[in-house]
Amino acid sequence: MVELWQAILLSLAAVVVGGIMTLAVSYATHCWTTEAARKAEERQAAYKVKEEERQYIRQHRRERMKPVLDFLDVAKRCAGGEAVIDVIRHAHDKASAAQTGLMPWEEFETVARREWSVPDISELLRAFWGAFLITPTPQVEAALLQAFAAVLEQQQRASGQELSEKKAGDAIKSAERLVERYLAEV
C-alpha cells in the first residue's frame, strides 16, 4: 500500500512533469508559429520588392519608348487627318459650286490643316527618326517602318483613298500592339 507521503510526492511529481511538458509544448508551438510568421513576412517583402522592380522597369521602358509612342500618335493624326481634309475638300467643292466668293481651296486647306492640327510630312519624318533610332527590337523597328511607309503612301496618294487609309491604320495598330507587348513583358 502507498503511504500518504508517497502519494503526495507522486502527485507533486506529476504536476511538475506535466507543467514542464506543457511549457515545452507551448514554447515549441510559439517557436514554430513565430518562424512561420517570419517566413511569411519575408516572402511578402520579397514579392513586394519584385513587384516594385517590375513597376520601375515598366515605367523606365515607357519613358524610353516615349519617342515611339509620340511617332505613333503623329502617324495616327496624319492618317486620320487626311480623311478629315478629304471630307472638308469635298464639302468645300460642293459649297464653291453652289456659291461664289469662297476662299480658294489652297488657302482654305492651310486653315483646315492648322485647325485640325494635321501634322505635315516634316513633323512625321522627325517623329519617325526619333522613334526609329531608339527601337528596342527588330520587330518594333519593322512595324514602325511599315507604319511610316503606309502613312507616307497615304499622304502621297493620287487615288485609292480607302485602301491606303486602311493600310495605314492596320500598320499603326500593329506597331502599337508590338510596343504595348514590349512594355508589358516584364
Q: Where are the alpha helices (DSSP H) in 65-104?
A: 66-98
Domain that holds residue 10: 1-53
Q: 118: which DSSP letter?
A: -
Helices (H), the chain: 4-64, 66-98, 105-115, 121-132, 138-155, 161-184
Q: Are residues 133 and 85 in the same domain?
A: yes
Residues 71, 47 share a domain: no
- Number of structural domains, the chain? 2
Predicted local distance difference test score (pLDDT) of residue 159? 40
Nearest 5 degrees, angle CA 85-CA 91-CA 97? 135
Q: Which residues of the chain have pLDDT under 70?
A: 1-2, 82, 97-98, 100-102, 113-118, 156-166, 186
Separation between Cα atoms, residue 79 and residue 176, nearest integer Å: 14
Regarding whether 178 and 107 lie in a shared domain, the answer is: yes
Answer whether residue 59 is part of any domain: no
Structure pTM? Answer: 0.56
User: pLDDT digit string (tens) for 47-85?
Assistant: 999 999 988 988 888 888 888 888 888 888 777 776 777
In a domain, 58, yes or no: no
